[in-house]
């Protein structure tokens, strides 16, 4: 049915090994022969079977990409960038969604291991130990997690969280809440650590709420907790939770940002479009996707590339944060509230 190397060999009157070399070691074949073979290959529509090739060479030209939830708007830009970068290097991408389930992550890595050159683990939920173990079975690049000896791309959320908390305390907020992310999230721990340290320095109180599902619903359901805690400003694990929280706060009669300020993390497309527009910490997701693919492909060359790439984050101030009850720092503009802010 499909055209194989044998068909091309027969048509060109050469041995299959010559056809093989025409594609994988062109300098070893006579230019005349080569062009004849290429012509016949073209005519027959021949394409080397990558799986067959991989059987011998060990290179599949495939990459596995494992994410917690494709439908979470944080991931698609990363997937898109990774796919595009991979294809630039003639690689294809397997995408798997683990539904925030650590056990499933392990299973999928193992299932994919044999048919990929490496796996990108984005925001994994499983333990470091397990990741280290898996990295002995298949080349791994981890995004949003730091593990000694494992190549990683991390976004500097700690700095992002610090900037966000400083923004809030500068606005005069003295009682902050932090909505934690899912259990097992390195990012969530980083944020908590950094936010706690920054709040302490600023002399502000910080109530931790969570872990929570990193979804709109996860934010929606803790609105009452935030109000009950008496916080006037909230930093959420991600934008989705921040948006859900705002919905929940409004439903409870609280105004954002007049009564409660909310900051998200990620700067997903949504954040510009909700009302009030969300103040958030922008994370370079596309760059992370590209960098992770690059690391994985470089990995093949020198075995022990265990570098960690750090990507900067940036606070984007929009309309969901405003003055708190305390004195605000004059350095910070007081009227960050948008004129088109939601009606009170």
Partner DNA sequence: GCCATTAATGCAAGCGGTTGCACAGCTGTC
Partner DNA sequence: GACAGCTGTGCAACCGCTTGCATTAATGGC
Contacts with a second copy by CB under 8 A lie at 2, 47, 49-52, 54-55, 60, 62, 69-71, 73, 75-77, 79-80, 83-84, 87, 92-97, 99, 108, 110-115, 216, 243, 247, 269-270, 273-275, 340, 342-343
- Smallest distance, Å, CB 129 to a second copy? 17
Q: What are phi and psi of 147, to 5 degrees?
A: -135, 130
Q: What's the maximum distance between 2 C-alpha atoms anywhere in the chain?
A: 87
CA-CA distance, 37 to 280, in Å (whole number)? 57
- Indicate whether 21 belongs to the interface with DNA (CB under 7 A): yes
* C-alpha distances in Å from residue 44, one per residue of 32, 48, 203, 252: 19, 12, 74, 68
Integer-rounded Cα radius of gyration of the chain = 26
258 binds, among DNA, a second copy, none (CB under 5 to 8 A by kind): none
At residue 264, what are phi and psi to the nearest 5 degrees?
-105, -175
Burial of 251 (0-12, 13-18, 19+ CB in 10 A): exposed
Cβ-contact 281, 263 below 8 angstroms: yes
- The whole-angstrom separation of Cα 157 and Cα 311 is 9
Show Cβ contacts of residue 208 under 8 Å, excluding neighbours closer than 6 positions.
Answer: 177, 178, 180, 192, 196
Residue of the chain from 39, 52, 252, 269 that contacts DNA (CB under 7 A): 52
In this chain, which of 57, 115, 127, 133 binds DNA, going by CB under 7 A? 57
Q: Which residues face 314 on adjacent strands?
A: 282
CB of 97 to a second copy, least distance (A): 5
Using the rule CB under 7 A, is 23 a contact of DNA? yes
Contact between 116 and DNA per CB under 7 A: no
Q: Taking CB under 7 A as the rule, does residue 24 contact DNA?
A: yes
> 80 contacts which partner out of DNA, a second copy, none, CB within 5 to 8 A by kind?
a second copy
Footprint of DNA on residues 29-48 (CB under 7 A)?
29-34, 46-48
Q: Quick one: 259 or 332, whose CB is closer to a second copy?
A: 259
340 is in the binding site of which of a second copy, DNA, none (Cβ under 5 to 8 A by kind)? a second copy
Pick the closest to residue 295 from 117, 158, 123, 102 (CA basis).
Answer: 117
User: Whole-number minimum distance, CB 128 to a second copy, in Å?
Assistant: 20
**Is 16 one of the binding residues for DNA (CB under 7 A)?**
yes
Distance CA 49, CA 266 (A): 40
Query: Judged by CB, which is closer to DNA: 55, or 269?
Result: 55
Q: Which residues bind DNA (CB under 7 A)?
A: 2, 4-6, 13-18, 20-21, 23-25, 28-34, 46-49, 52-53, 55-57
């Amino acid at each position: 049915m499909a055209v194989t190397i044998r068909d091309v060999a027969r048509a060109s009157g050469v041995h299959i090994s010559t056809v093989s070399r025409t594609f994988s070691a062109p300098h070893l074949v006579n230019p005349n022969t080569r062009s004849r073979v290429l012509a016949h290959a073209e005519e027959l529509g021949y394409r080397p079977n990558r799986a067959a090739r991989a059987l011998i060479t060990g290179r599949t030209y495939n990459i596995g990409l494992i994410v917690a939830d494709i439908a979470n708007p944080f991931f698609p830009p990363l997937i898109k960038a990774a796919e595009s970068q991979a294809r630039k290097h003639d690689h294809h991408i397997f995408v798997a969604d683990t539904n925030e389930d650590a056990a499933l992550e392990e299973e999928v890595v193992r299932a994919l291991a044999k048919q990929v050159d490496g796996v990108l683990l984005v925001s994994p939920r499983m333990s470091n130990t397990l990741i280290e173990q898996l990295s002995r079975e298949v080349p791994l690049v981890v995004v949003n997690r730091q593990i000694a000896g494992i190549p990683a791309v991390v976004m500097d959320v700690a700095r992002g969280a610090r900037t966000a908390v400083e923004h809030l305390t500068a606005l005069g907020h003295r009682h902050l809440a932090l909505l934690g992310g899912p259990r097992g999230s390195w990012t969530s721990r980083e944020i908590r650590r950094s936010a706690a340290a920054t709040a302490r320095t600023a002399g502000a109180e910080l109530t931790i709420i969570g872990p929570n599902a990193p979804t709109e619903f996860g934010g929606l359901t803790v609105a009452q907790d935030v109000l009950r805690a008496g916080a006037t400003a909230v930093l959420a694990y991600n934008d989705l939770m921040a948006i859900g929280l705002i919905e929940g706060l409004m439903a409870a009669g609280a105004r954002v940002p007049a009564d409660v300020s909310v900051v998200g993390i990620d700067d997903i497309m949504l954040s510009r479009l909700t009302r009030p527009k969300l103040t958030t910490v922008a994370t370079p997701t596309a760059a992370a996707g590209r960098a992770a693919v690059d690391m994985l492909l470089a990995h093949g060359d020198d075995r022990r590339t265990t570098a960690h790439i750090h990507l900067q984050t940036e606070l984007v101030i929009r309309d969901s944060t405003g003055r708190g009850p305390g004195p605000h720092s004059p350095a910070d503009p007081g009227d960050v509230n948008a004129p088109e802010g939601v009606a009170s």
